Structures are given as structure tokens and as C-alpha cells.
């Protein structure tokens, strides 16, 4: 009998230790890895933008001015590459140090590295609905404080050339995962009645579950060239 009790006790201790380790992994280690991954994505973006801003003559180390060339016909912007970062998002309501990379797609591995743009929705700043998803908890907890968002709050993004300032009109609105209309070009429950330049943010609810979704809708309020400095919403 004593052997049985001892065995059961040791088993309970082992199981308890495993549970503690799992909780530490979920609460701490995934966050550490995700923070590092998001910082890396931002560094990669900023390096890419810095290289793109260097004139070709300077990059080649020449001082001669090239002869003017005929202006090329405007091209459609290249599609966002799946799993690749293309913008940085700032939400002052969540803290003036809060900034996250936005990557193309909402695959599991993509959302471990930042926020994910719903493929098929509008491009940043363009007509339609630019829709973005993010984890509420785990993997850096990017949208942990999502319920704090309020009407009038600014959501600012940059693609390296332009600042885009959106203003929240409605939310957080609670719905179910099957309600895919929330990322329509004109979301029916958003209050918008005609086409525009909109932003939708989505995350899970409750905080440690995924039975529902929280939604925020915003409209494009203003744009500003990066060379002109940060927009007012990011100035303290």
C-alpha cells in the first residue's frame, strides 16, 4: 500500500511540475521569442527602407548626374509577399512604446512574428478595408489591451514612405469567428454605408480563449510623407 501511495504521490508531483513548466512556456517563453521575432522584423523593415531611400548614384559611389530619362509608365504596386513584413503599426492608446510589424497573411507561423494582414483585403491606405489580425495572448500578447481601444483613438501605420493615420469609429465589437463579414470592403455592422478607406483590427476573446472575436473599425483620417516627420498622433 505504501508503495502505491508513494508512486501516486511521485506521479502527481511530476504532473504538477510539467503543468508549471507548460504555463511558464506559454506565459513567458513564447512571449520572449515573439518579442525577439517582432523586433527582428522591424529591424529588417527599417534596413530595407534605408537602402531604398539611398539614391542609386550615391550607392554606386559616383558623383555624376545621370541624364534625365523618360518617366516610366506607372506600375501597379507589387503584391505583398506572404509571410513578409511590409509596415509597422503604432497605437498610442496601448502605449507610446507600442509598435508591431505587420506581415502578409494570417497563418499560425506568421502571427508568431507580428500582426497579420488578411490576404485579399485592401492594401494599406487604399480604397476598401485594410484588415489586420493579432494575438490577444501568447506570442508577445500584441493585442492584450485591445478592449481599451475607444472611438477617436488613432491607429498609425507606415510603409517606409508614408504615414497613414486611421481613427477608430466603432468597437470593440464582439462577434463569433464565423462572422467573416467584419472584413468586407464595407462591413455591414461597422456603421459605414459606402465605400471608403477603412481599417479593421481583430483579435480573440475571451483573453485566454478563442470562442469569440473582438473587432475595431476605423477610417483613414490623414496621410503624411515620412520626410515630413511623425504625425501628430505620435507626438507627445
Query: Any idea of the CA torsion for 87, 90, 91, 96, to the nearest 10 degrees?
Result: 170
**Other beta carbons within 10 Å of 100:** 24
Locate 93 and state its grid cell: 492608446
Tell me how far apart the alpha carbons of residues 172 and 212 are, in angstroms, rounded to a whole number. Answer: 12
The residues annotated as belonging to the active site are 135, 204, 213
**Other beta carbons within 10 Å of 57:** 12
> Dmax of the chain from CA atoms?
94
Query: Any idea of the CA torsion for 36, 42, 44, 48, to the nearest 10 degrees?
Result: 180
164 backbone dihedrals φ, ψ, rounded to 5°: -120, 120
Amino acid at each position: 500500500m505504501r508503495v502505491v501511495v508513494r508512486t501516486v504521490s511521485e506521479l502527481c508531483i511530476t504532473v504538477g511540475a510539467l503543468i508549471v513548466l507548460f504555463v511558464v512556456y506559454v506565459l513567458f517563453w513564447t512571449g520572449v521569442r515573439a518579442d525577439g521575432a517582432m523586433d527582428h522584423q522591424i529591424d529588417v523593415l527599417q534596413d530595407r527602407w534605408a537602402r531604398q531611400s539611398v539614391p542609386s548614384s550615391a550607392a554606386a559611389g559616383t558623383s555624376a548626374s545621370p541624364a534625365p530619362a523618360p518617366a516610366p509608365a506607372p506600375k501597379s504596386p507589387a503584391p505583398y509577399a506572404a509571410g513578409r513584413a511590409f509596415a509597422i503599426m503604432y497605437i498610442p492608446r496601448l502605449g507610446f512604446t507600442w509598435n508591431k510589424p505587420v506581415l502578409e497573411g494570417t497563418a499560425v507561423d506568421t502571427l508568431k512574428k507580428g500582426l497579420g494582414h488578411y490576404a485579399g483585403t485592401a492594401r494599406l491606405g487604399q480604397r476598401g478595408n485594410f484588415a489586420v489580425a493579432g494575438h490577444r495572448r501568447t506570442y508577445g500578447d500584441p493585442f492584450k489591451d485591445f478592449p481599451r481601444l475607444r472611438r477617436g483613438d488613432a491607429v498609425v501605420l507606415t510603409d517606409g514612405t508614408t504615414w497613414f493615420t486611421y481613427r477608430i469609429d466603432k468597437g470593440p465589437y464582439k462577434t463569433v469567428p464565423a462572422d467573416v463579414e467584419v472584413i468586407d470592403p464595407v462591413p455591414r455592422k461597422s456603421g459605414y454605408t459606402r465605400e471608403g478607406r477603412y481599417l479593421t483590427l481583430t483579435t480573440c476573446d475571451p483573453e485566454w480563449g478563442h470562442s469569440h472575436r473582438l473587432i475595431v473599425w476605423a477610417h483613414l483620417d490623414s496621410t503624411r510623407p515620412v520626410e515630413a516627420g511623425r504625425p501628430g498622433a505620435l507626438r507627445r
